[in-house]
Amino acid sequence: MNSQLYTALDLGSSSIKVIIADVAYEKLNILGVGVVNTNAIKRGNIVDVENAAKDIEKALELAKKEAGKDIRSLYVAVPSVHTQIKKSVAEIQFDNKHDIDGRDIEEVIEEAKILSLPREREVVQVIPDYYRIDDIEHIRQPKGMTGHSSFEVTGNRVLTSKTHLHTIYKSIEKLKIDCNETFSSSHTLGTLLLTDEERDYGSVIIDIGAGLTTVSYYEDNILQLSQSIELAGDDITRLISDVLNVSSKRAEEIKVTQGHSFYELASDDVIIELENIGPDEEPYTQKELSDYIEEIVEEIILKAFAVLRKSGINRIKGNVVFTGGTTLMPGVLELAKDMLKKMNVRIGTPKIIGANSPDLSVAVGTLTSSYNIETLFGYQSINEANFVNKELEQDASSDLEQVISQKRAAIEEEEYYEEEYYEEDYYEEDDDNSSMFGRLRKKYSSFFE
């Protein structure tokens, strides 16, 4: 039996990334990567559906060509803008003795999705924290246990703007490809870059992309905070363009090839070559330019911790992980360590051949999240062999989709579940606006002491 294909879509503010992978012996195997620059996404929001769809299609074609595979569906990382996190509890009931399986876990998570929502909000995903079976509470792994009356999940629902999410759906629908599931980009990063201990103890991920910097905080092994800052790599490019009086395209090239974000380590010997420099003017050096770049990166870090402070998070007990394309610039880690002297700081990078770069963290994290959720629901077989010909692969993929379809149909047909749910309110509810698309902080010294 061949290994199932997984396809991840990351909608970045400067580029769209698609990765196709399979899983054999519980390990991801990257088959193809497609990256396409885009002008259809600004600060995490799709602003041009037609061009977004075209750019997604281009990235898909590149990934499919490299992988030598065709795909019918994908998993989507939703940019963490307009994000709210809402603690919720959902329950299903049984008429008699019942062994909990993946189908039941999927059912109770779907119940959590369709709880009433604040106005103009939509569920990106439900992140289970723990389960209850009858009178047994705080269960982490319910599969295989036996219940007699009820099964309950407690977790966090990640909400975003309904318009934001449905615009993403629109862009994908134009390609006639199914969207299997959506994940918050913050969740995918936590799944990929943090250990269980880090997620439990209290750790931060600061994802510095092109248009957005996303701050994600994990504690008690669950995503507690996801918020974005409109200051990121593109702002560094604009600053270079203004300082050196060059085009945005040239400024981006200089940033990538000669940029440095820590003044103390930047070089006086690296000269920024410019065509527009006058005969009596001295050219800029990397060290002189880094003085400007350092200001923005420092402000990004300060604003990230301001977000934490505003949310009541005054102390980071765990680690601080930086990721995203901007962290490829020399000096980011050294500047962060200089600012956060008493914290454990590192750059988070996917440890996987073919995609081991921080600018691919969200996409690889989406692959990991998709494999985890299908394993949880029982759609992924463990220890699958990875040596089959293309004809067998196509047949097996088709068979798997039929199995999944049959499982979903069985859930809808069963009549012995009596549904009941409730939730802990964090935001004002709008009872008449329930979801119809269940699937579909300046400096703070306490951080730097």
C-alpha separations of 118 from 23, 81, 121, 187, 436 in Å: 38, 16, 6, 21, 13
**Tokens found for residue 84:** 């709210």
Can you give the pLDDT at residue 1? 40
Higher-confidence residue: 384 or 197?
197
- The whole-number average pLDDT for the span 385-404 is 39
What pTM value is reported for the model?
0.82
Q: Residue 31, SS3?
A: strand
Instruction: Please work out, in degrees rounded to the nearest 5, the angle formed at the alpha carbon of residue 172 by the alpha carbons of 168 and 177.
Output: 150
Q: Which two tokens stand for residue 143?
A: 């599969």
Axis-axis angle for helices 233-244, 248-258 (nearest 10): 110
What separation, in Å, do the N-terminal and C-terminal C-alpha atoms of the chain show?
A: 56
Q: Return the pLDDT at 340.
A: 95
User: In the predicted model, what is the mean pLDDT of residues 24-46?
Assistant: 93
Pair of tokens at residue 309 = 């402070």
pLDDT at 356: 93
- The token pair at 137 is 């509470």
CA distance 267 to 252: 19
Mean pLDDT of the chain, nearest integer? 86
Ramachandran quadrant class, 325 (left: phi over 0; alpha: psi -120 to 50; beta: rest): alpha
How far apart are the C-alpha atoms of 85 and 385, rounded to whole Å? 39
Percent over 90 (pLDDT), the chain: 75
Give the C-alpha distances (Å, rounded to integers) separating 175 from 5, 22, 37, 39: 18, 22, 18, 18
CA distance 59 to 399: 27
Looking at residue 3, its pLDDT comes to 64
Highest mean pLDDT among 186-200, 274-288, 399-413: 186-200
- Confidence at 118, pLDDT banded by 50, 70, 90: confident
Separation CA 79–CA 105 (nearest Å): 26
DSSP E strand stretches across 168-259: 178-184, 203-208, 213-219, 222-229
Q: How far is CA 244 from CA 55, 249, 254, 280, in A?
A: 31, 12, 10, 15
Question: Which pLDDT score, from 0 to 100, does residue 30 have?
Answer: 95
Write down the pLDDT at residue 58. Answer: 97
Q: Is the Cβ–Cβ distance between 342 and 362 less than 8 Å?
A: no
Between 402 and 441, where is the model more confident? 402
Q: Contacts by 350-355 with C-beta closer than 8 Å and gap 24+?
A: 350/192, 352/28, 352/30, 353/30, 354/30, 354/33, 355/19, 355/30, 355/33
Q: How many residues does the chain have?
A: 449
Return all residues near 329 (Cβ < 8 A) that are at least 6 apart: 236, 255, 256, 259, 260, 261, 293
What is residue 388's predicted lDDT score, i.e. its pLDDT? 30
